[in-house]
């Protein structure tokens, strides 16, 4: 079952329940991401009390000699060697995720086999992306590695390599893509990453509470922009200019305006659209997100490097789907930090990614409320049936993205520890959160690869998606991107991350 199929089932709570109650999964993907994310964050915090429980995880350095590419995240485990760390990381994630998807009633054996291929290919892409010819940025780096040129993608260019690897598999080896689809779960991977990200952002925010509060406040503009401005314009264009029916226009407007897959499926369900329509729109959203991730971070680096938080908010508003947006924020951060570093301005890392994530999370929070509002309008005014079921307020909770609760918990714990713990503990906090962050990066890599594998352009074209894509092109490139840039500018211009050190 693809991630989009899973989203369909989890975002449509009012759909008829299966008659066999035993077939229901024990938990859904949202709660699973909360459990895994919190477990990783909790284990990482073990370092504060003494034992280093996650230091064995694999990390990658920029390399010219492949033998030096891999290592352990903690020096305490350096004796393991890089390749052993990689294998241990793979085995631990395999065990945890296989157990998790078994609770989702997926086939654990099929998942384990597919995940093995996904993890090895995705991580290999990451290692390739860390090659000095792709990743080295500053003249000092070039000198250090003894090379005279580099694409300067930073080591997070590995995300793009993983995305391209996924695209190649989807479009050149579709049979293989079909065989590994059980482990192609971008929504699960990115939700785990976002839960972990909360703690990392909190530790950054604690040092600059005033700036963090300002970013949170300015992030509220994204909610207004996505739901009230983007949605209404895209819906009107789809209905009036392209002549789409309401069943197509609602998920399309939600997919382009709000948050891709989850919003298209939740609002499609709310107006009783057929699931196939929402799934089709979701596929389109993923494809456009791929194109945006490949293009927008480089435009941001080129034109917005002196307004880093404008770039961050813009990426969060323009790129749909959580995975692509937050990971796109990561790439944007690397590119912009690298460009500024080359000019002698060294910003503290985490703020650009944090702003993109804040914008995205704020938008996500209101998906349930928007779906309820649309459901209420449809069941009372547009598709009112005499004996019909009406939209109920409890659906707001059903459609609330639960992984955001995990994000809030890790953010709260991280902030409390950074502000209130004894100095001996806070001194260890960045290293502890750094270990959790290593897993955040791994889940981002899996997200990028999975998004690529879901993007089979030929299949989408064969489904006659061209006219839907035309709405996307017209509204995204003619309206959403520019309005997003203007509003990001109005709210974030002149606000810069703190300088490092």
Partner 1 sequence: MSETDLKSEIQTPVHEPLLPIEKKLVAWSLGSGLVLLTILILLTRVSWGG
Q: What is the contact surface with partner 1 in residues (CB under 8 A)?
A: 214, 217-218, 220-221, 224-225, 227-229, 231-233, 235-236, 239-240, 243-246, 248, 274, 276-277, 280, 377, 381-382, 462-465, 467-468, 487, 490-491, 493-495
CB of 471 to partner 1, least distance (A): 10
- The residue among 205 and 446 lying less far from partner 1, judged by its C-beta, is 205
153's CB contacts (< 8 A; 6+ apart) are: 129, 134, 135, 160, 334, 335
377's CB contacts (< 8 A; 6+ apart) are: none
- The residue among 214 and 426 lying less far from partner 1, judged by its C-beta, is 214
Q: At what angle do helices 351-365 and 322-342 cross, to 10 degrees?
A: 160
As a whole number of angstroms, the distance between CA 175 and CA 109 comes to: 19
Q: Is 171 left (phi over 0), alpha (psi -120 to 50) or beta?
A: alpha
Listed residue (355, 405, 353, 371) closest to 258, CA to CA = 371
- The residue among 243 and 412 lying less far from partner 1, judged by its C-beta, is 243
Write out the two tokens for 263: 């919003």
CB of 112 to partner 1, least distance (A): 31
CB of 243 to partner 1, least distance (A): 5
- The residue among 220 and 302 lying less far from partner 1, judged by its C-beta, is 220
Do 352 and 340 contact (CB within 8 A), yes or no? Answer: no
CB of 214 to partner 1, least distance (A): 5
- Polymer length in residues for the chain: 501
- The residue among 138 and 245 lying less far from partner 1, judged by its C-beta, is 245
CB of 246 to partner 1, least distance (A): 6
- The residue among 373 and 421 lying less far from partner 1, judged by its C-beta, is 373
- The residue among 278 and 429 lying less far from partner 1, judged by its C-beta, is 278
Place of tokens 């890790």: 410
CB of 23 to partner 1, least distance (A): 23
- The residue among 75 and 458 lying less far from partner 1, judged by its C-beta, is 458
Strand duo 58-60 + 70-72: pairing = antiparallel
59's CB contacts (< 8 A; 6+ apart) are: 70, 71, 72, 73, 85, 438
CB of 245 to partner 1, least distance (A): 5
- The residue among 225 and 292 lying less far from partner 1, judged by its C-beta, is 225
As a whole number of angstroms, the distance between CA 460 and CA 280 comes to: 8
- The residue among 241 and 303 lying less far from partner 1, judged by its C-beta, is 241
As a whole number of angstroms, the distance between CA 318 and CA 334 comes to: 18
- The residue among 344 and 494 lying less far from partner 1, judged by its C-beta, is 494
Question: Which DSSP string corresponds to 258-273?
Answer: IIHHHHHHHHHHHTT-
Chain centroid to Cα 337, Å, comes to 20
Alpha helices in 343-400 (DSSP H): 351-365, 367-377, 394-399
As a whole number of angstroms, the distance between CA 104 and CA 1 comes to: 11
Do 184 and 2 contact (CB within 8 A), yes or no? Answer: yes
Do 389 and 354 contact (CB within 8 A), yes or no? Answer: no
- Tell me the sheet residues that pair with 72: 58
CB of 453 to partner 1, least distance (A): 20
Listed residue (399, 400, 402, 405) closest to 13, CA to CA = 399
CB of 275 to partner 1, least distance (A): 10
CB of 393 to partner 1, least distance (A): 19
CB of 229 to partner 1, least distance (A): 4
- The residue among 46 and 463 lying less far from partner 1, judged by its C-beta, is 463
Q: Is 387 helix (H, G, I), strand (E, B) or coil?
A: coil
CB of 498 to partner 1, least distance (A): 15
C-alpha separations of 184 from 166, 187, 276, 446 in Å? 10, 9, 19, 8
Do 116 and 110 contact (CB within 8 A), yes or no? Answer: no
211's CB contacts (< 8 A; 6+ apart) are: 205, 351, 495, 497, 498
């Amino acid at each position: 079952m693809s991630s989009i199929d899973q989203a369909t089932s989890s975002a449509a709570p009012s759909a008829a329940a299966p008659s066999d109650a035993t077939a229901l999964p024990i938990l859904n993907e949202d709660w699973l991401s909360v459990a895994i994310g919190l477990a990783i964050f909790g284990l990482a915090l073990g370092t504060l009390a003494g034992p280093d429980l996650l230091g064995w995880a694999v990390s990658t350095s920029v390399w010219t000699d492949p033998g030096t590419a891999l290592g352990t995240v903690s020096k305490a485990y350096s004796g393991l060697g890089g390749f052993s760390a990689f294998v241990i990381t793979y085995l631990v994630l395999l065990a945890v995720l296989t157990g998790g998807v078994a609770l989702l009633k997926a086939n654990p054996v099929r998942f384990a086999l597919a995940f093995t291929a996904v993890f090895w290919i995705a991580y290999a892409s990451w290692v390739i992306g860390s090659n000095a010819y792709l990743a080295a940025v500053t003249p000092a780096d070039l000198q250090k590695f003894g090379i005279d040129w580099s694409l300067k993608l930073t080591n997070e260019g590995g995300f793009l390599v993983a995305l391209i690897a996924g695209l190649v598999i989807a479009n050149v080896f579709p049979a293989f893509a079909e065989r590994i689809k059980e482990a192609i779960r971008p929504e699960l991977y990115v939700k785990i990453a976002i839960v972990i990200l909360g703690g990392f952002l909190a530790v950054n925010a604690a040092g600059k509470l005033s700036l963090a509060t300002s970013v949170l406040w300015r992030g509220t503009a994204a909610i207004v922009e996505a739901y009230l401005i983007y949605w209404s314009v895209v819906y009107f264009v789809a209905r009036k200019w392209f002549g789409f029916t309401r069943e197509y226009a609602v998920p399309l407007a939600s997919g382009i305006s709000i948050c891709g897959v989850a919003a298209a499926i939740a609002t499609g369900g709310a107006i009783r659209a057929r699931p196939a329509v929402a799934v089709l729109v979701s596929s389109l959203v993923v494809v456009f997100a791929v194109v945006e991730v490949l293009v927008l971070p480089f435009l941001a680096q080129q034109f917005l490097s002196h307004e880093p938080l404008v770039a961050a908010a813009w990426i969060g508003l323009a790129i749909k789907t959580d995975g692509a947006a937050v990971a796109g924020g990561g790439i944007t951060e690397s590119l912009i930090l690298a460009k500024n570093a080359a000019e002698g301005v060294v910003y503290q890392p985490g703020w650009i990614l944090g702003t993109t994530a804040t914008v995205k999370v704020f938008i996500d929070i209101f998906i349930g409320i928007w779906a309820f509002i649309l459901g209420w309008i449809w069941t009372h005014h547009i598709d009112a049936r005499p004996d019909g079921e009406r939209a109920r307020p409890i659906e707001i909770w059903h459609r609330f993205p639960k992984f955001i609760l995990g994000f809030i918990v890790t953010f709260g714990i991280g902030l409390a520890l950074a502000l209130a713990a004894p100095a001996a503990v806070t001194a260890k906090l960045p290293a502890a959160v750094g270990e959790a962050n290593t897993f955040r990066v791994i889940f981002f890599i899996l997200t990028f690869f999975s998004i690529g594998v879901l993007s089979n352009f030929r299949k989408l074209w064969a489904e006659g998606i061209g006219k839907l894509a035309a709405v996307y092109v017209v509204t995204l490139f003619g309206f959403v991107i520019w309005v997003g840039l203007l509003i990001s500018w109005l709210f974030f211009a002149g606000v810069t991350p703190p300088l490092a050190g």
